[in-house]
Amino acid sequence: MVNRKVTIYSTPSCPFCMMTKRFMKENNIDFEDIDVSTDQAKAQEMVQKSGRMAVPIVDIDGEIIVGFDKGRIRKALGL
Amino acid sequence: MMFDLIIIGAGPAGITASVYAARKKMGLLVITKNIGGQAAWSGDIENYTGYQFITGPELAGKFEEHMRKYGIELKENEQVLELKRKDEGVWVKTDKGTHEAKTAVIASGKRSRELGVPGEVEFKNRGLTYCATCDAPLFGGKDVAVIGGGNSALDATLQLIRIAKHIYLINITSALTGDAVMREKVNESKKVSILNSARVTTVLGDRMVNGIKIKREDREETLPVEGVFVEIGLIPNSEFAKELERNGLGEIKVNSYNETSIPGIFAAGDVTDVPEKQIIVAAGEGAKAALSAFRYLAQQK
């Protein structure tokens, strides 16, 4: 499997963020988890990248996915 | 292929129904938009027996594991558009195809009610959200509006008091409903302006939300806010079941055996008029519905 760079922008209380991270773990995908509730600069970066004020935002090699969209995440990861 | 049973929905009710039906060796198909339903986006759960504390996503994960153990045929990310009685069975049309079975259990749950005003669709996830638990932390130091006056609106407001600069609570009725304890906390906060008898008419913005228009006593005003939290309750996902008797809220009417107005079609959980919308109630109702479907089939033979 090709190694992809995966970043998840999340907040601690967000159920869909937890589900997204759980999905990555189940599929043995390494990811960087950024808590945008404590990091204003990263929150800005997320809004810039995605044009959205919502979490989770998943960045897979530059492809931006809004929400826990299992189908798109699978595709982007080549699962 | 003709299944014994089609289950629509895979929240607590649908998943429990699928486990019971699988253990009765029924030929089974589960069709669902997502797995876990509302349980998956609940926060902390402290009243599901056996778990003194578990989060919504974790409990939903346990449910999913339990269902998958039985190797049930599952159509995920598929939406049911129509369900009707056909010959001696049921016919289901989805956004991906059609399916037939001898019986059905509808466990399609509820979804967030929408405002239905201009700007709502355009600015969804661009400042407008239906998930305060998820997105509230993004609005640190900003002015926001919470729409609603019940428990979920009060809950969102209380979360935002710790985060946002100022909160306008836009309530369509003349006084807040919701629990007294939460009402008191909201009333005490200097950060909250409660606007009763007010309704949102437009969500404004360019790239992101930058305001809302509201109407109060026939006067229109604009509030400059960057966040809009819509918390005006839930509506049942029952539109596809037009042939079934429903109550004024759109909930499918069921009796204590989870029978609907059409023989062979059963329903369970939050989509029904069962009193008390709770994860444990939905799960129990799902079990009952599956067993009723099993008994119905046995009697047909």
Q: What is the mean pLDDT of residues B271-288?
A: 96
Q: Is A66 on the interface with B (CB under 8 A)?
A: yes
List phi, psi (to 5°) of B45.
-115, 125
Q: Residue A2 pLDDT more than 70?
A: no
Q: Residue A49 pLDDT more than 90?
A: yes
Q: What is the mean pLDDT of residues A59-63?
A: 95
**Which B-chain residues 92-131 have CB contacts (< 8 A) with chain A?**
125-127, 129, 131
Given this model, what pLDDT does residue B163 score? 93
Q: Tens digits of per-residue pLDDT, B121-166?
A: 999 999 999 999 889 999 999 999 999 999 889 989 999 999 999 9
Q: Which of B135, B139, B143, B203 to mutate to test the interface with A (most CBs of A within 10 A)?
A: B135
Given this model, what pLDDT does residue A1 score? 56
Q: Which two tokens stand for residue B227?
A: 């966040």
Kindly determine whether residue A55 and residue B135, on different chains, have CB atoms separated by under 8 Å: yes
Where do the DSSP E strands lie in chain B? 2-10, 28-35, 44-45, 54-55, 73-76, 80-86, 89-94, 98-106, 110-112, 128-129, 143-147, 166-170, 192-195, 198-205, 209-216, 219-223, 227-230, 234-236, 265-267
Smallest CA–CA distance from B128 into chain A, residue: A53
Q: pLDDT band for position A13 (50/70/90)?
A: confident
Q: Tens digits of per-residue pLDDT, B4-49?
A: 999 999 999 999 999 999 999 999 999 999 999 998 877 778 899 9
Amino acid letter at B281?
A: V
Query: Is ipTM beyond 0.95?
Result: no
Smallest CA–CA distance from B163 into chain A, residue: A37
The whole-angstrom separation of Cα B3 and Cα B1 is 6
pTM: 0.85
Question: B148, exposed or middle or buried, with CB in 10 Å at 0-12, 13-18, 19+?
Answer: buried
Given this model, what pLDDT does residue B46 score? 86
Q: Tens digits of per-residue pLDDT, B211-268?
A: 999 999 889 999 999 999 999 999 999 999 999 999 999 999 999 999 999 999 999 9
Helix B12-23 crosses helix B56-68 at what angle (to 10 degrees)?
20
Kindly determine whether residue B55 and residue A18, on different chains, have CB atoms separated by under 8 Å: yes
Q: Tens digits of per-residue pLDDT, B97-108?
A: 999 999 999 999
A79 Cβ contact list (under 8 Å, min separation 6): A27, A73
Q: Of B71, B62, B20, B23, which Cα lies nearest the Cα of B40?
A: B62
Q: Of B301, B287, B297, which Cα lies nearest the Cα of B22?
A: B287
User: Mind telling me the catalytic residues of B?
Assistant: 131, 134-135
State the smallest CA–CA distance between residue B292 and chain A in angstroms.
33
End-to-end CA distance of chain B: 19
Q: Tens digits of per-residue pLDDT, B173-191?
A: 999 998 899 999 999 999 9
State the smallest CA–CA distance between residue A58 and chain B in angstroms.
14
Smallest CA–CA distance from A70 into chain B, residue: B77
Given this model, what pLDDT does residue B56 score? 86
CA B299 to each of CA B76, B268, B288, B295: distance values in angstroms, whole numbers, following the listed order: 31, 21, 16, 6
DSSP string, B137-185: GGGTT-EEEEE-SSHHHHHHHHHHHTT-SEEEEE-SSSS--S-HHHHHH
B21 Cβ contact list (under 8 Å, min separation 6): B4, B5, B7, B28, B105, B290, B293, B294
